[in-house]
Amino acid sequence: MSSDFTYSVARSLSMRISREILTVFGLWIILSSMVASAADFALGIYGNANMDDAVDDQDIAFVKDVLSGAKSATNLTDANYDGKIDEKDIDQINQIIDGTEKKLVVQDDAGDAVAIDMPVASAITGDRSHAEAVRAIKATDKIIAVTKGIKDQPVFFPELSKLPSVASEYGKDPDYEKILQLKPSLYLTSPPASVSEDKKNLPEVAVLSLRLYEPAGFEERVLKLGYIFDKRKEAEKYIQWHDDVIDDIRDKIKKSPQQSLPKLLLISIYDSGVINVHTNRSGAGQILAEIGVKTLGDTLMGTHPELDPEWVLSQDPQVILLFGFPESVIRGYNIDDYSMMKAYREEFMNDSRFRNTDAVKKGRVFLLDSKSMSYSGSYIIGIAYMTKMFYPELFLDMNPQEINQEYLRFQGLDYDLAKHGAFAYPSL
């Protein structure tokens, strides 16, 4: 989707509905849901008047055209969010460009306009996805508290794990009293069910909902953080690396004949013994959608339906990936031994529900530490490992471990994957 198309859609809708600035909010939602690449999204910051991917001089020109009557306003034209378009909006845009703005108004994933006092003095990360993104753009010096999920990962979060915790894993059950006592400038949250509660209980804090655990729209959200923490160049560098990796993988798969792509089955096995299939609407399915890959679960309803052994045999998967498996099988950054993953794979391949599948017969059964490679920007690592598992002939020249190591460099971690960690088995 080109910037010309974005503008023409915005102008058409605006003229048809009204010239009032706030009446075209739905347009931004439409545009942001159509994210495809770093150069193809509408950055949800007030002042991005022309609805492209940056706040720059083009937005000043756009506001001037609105003031002259040559163009219609978008919902982001009101840069200072005071309900009217005037010269003050041009002043605000100039300040955003220079990094001297006193307040930044951001459109969040709950559809709210959130005013943030600038520069941000302190922030609390609501879950791991926020922590990784903030660390990737080198802004962790602003973080004053985290969640239990981060506290429990001292190897991956050596510094942040030392900070106080204000919520359980993934930002659930936040301690609002404790958060208010810490007086953060910004609280990053994401679980849809609790966003409204977070905002209601933290009236003195800028509460920003950013679903950084979702692949779609990831770049736009990271760039927002770049503006918020005055780390735009760092955010752009991170996004460029991310897009280079994704685009290379996507292009190779797109060029391969579809009939040569194997039938894929993604499942998770829980401590209870229950086995669920990941459909294309699940988190794993959304990750694979970023590179145009579908699984056998595409024919099933829901996100994680319970596995039907007869269905598995009828589908006869050629590759099986255990995207999740019991917590008793230790893996990830805290262990350097693959023996537990190896033993569990052998047990799985002897399971009567799977041993007659093509995948088991040919040994194309893989285990992946999805917790280290999803639910955050780390999903790009998961994509690298999965594509190598699924399409080894297509990716002979790709080493997932190298991509993993590059991601850790963005995370500022001195962690040698050649010596430490257990993430994918069999090794690739």
User: pLDDT digit string (tens) for 314-344?
Assistant: 999 999 999 999 999 999 998 999 999 999 9
Q: What does the angle CA 130 – CA 133 – CA 135 come to, to the nearest 5 degrees?
A: 105
- Looking at residues 180-207, what average pLDDT do you find? 91
- Looking at residues 12-34, what average pLDDT do you find? 37
pLDDT (0 to 100) of residue 169: 83
pLDDT (0 to 100) of residue 193: 64
- Looking at residues 238-244, what average pLDDT do you find? 97
Q: How far apart are CA 187 and CA 418, in angstroms?
A: 36
For residue 389, the number of C-alpha atoms closer than 13 Å in the C-beta half-sphere is: 31
Q: How far apart are CA 125 and CA 116, in angstroms?
A: 15
pLDDT at 231 over 50: yes
pLDDT at 109 over 50: yes
Name the helix (H) or strand (E) containing 222.
Answer: helix 218-228
User: pLDDT digit string (tens) for 46-100?
Assistant: 999 999 999 999 999 999 999 999 999 999 999 999 999 999 999 999 999 999 9
User: pLDDT digit string (tens) for 373-398?
Assistant: 998 999 999 999 999 999 999 999 99
Contact of 143 with 125, CB cutoff 8 Å: yes
User: pLDDT digit string (tens) for 340-371?
Assistant: 999 999 999 999 999 999 999 999 999 999 98
User: pLDDT digit string (tens) for 140-163?
Assistant: 999 999 999 899 999 999 999 999
What is the DSSP-derived secondary structure letter of residue 187?
A: E
The answer to whether the Cα torsion of 231, 381, 286, 37 is positive or negative is positive
Q: Tell me the two tokens of residue 68.
A: 């002259």
The answer to whether the Cα torsion of 7, 10, 13, 17 is positive or negative is negative
Q: Tell me the two tokens of residue 411.
A: 């995370």
Percentage of the chain exceeding pLDDT 70: 89
Q: Tell me the two tokens of residue 309.
A: 């052994």
pLDDT (0 to 100) of residue 258: 65
Q: How far apart are CA 88 and CA 45, in angstroms?
A: 16
Q: How far apart are CA 150 and CA 158, in angstroms?
A: 9
pLDDT (0 to 100) of residue 298: 87
Decide: pTM greater than 0.85. Answer: yes
Q: Which residues contact 323 (CB under 8 A, 6 or more apart)?
A: 266, 267, 268, 278, 284, 368, 370
Q: Which residues contact 218 (CB under 8 A, 6 or more apart)?
A: 212, 242, 377
pLDDT (0 to 100) of residue 168: 86
Q: Which residues contact 377 (CB under 8 A, 6 or more apart)?
A: 129, 132, 133, 136, 212, 218, 222, 242, 407
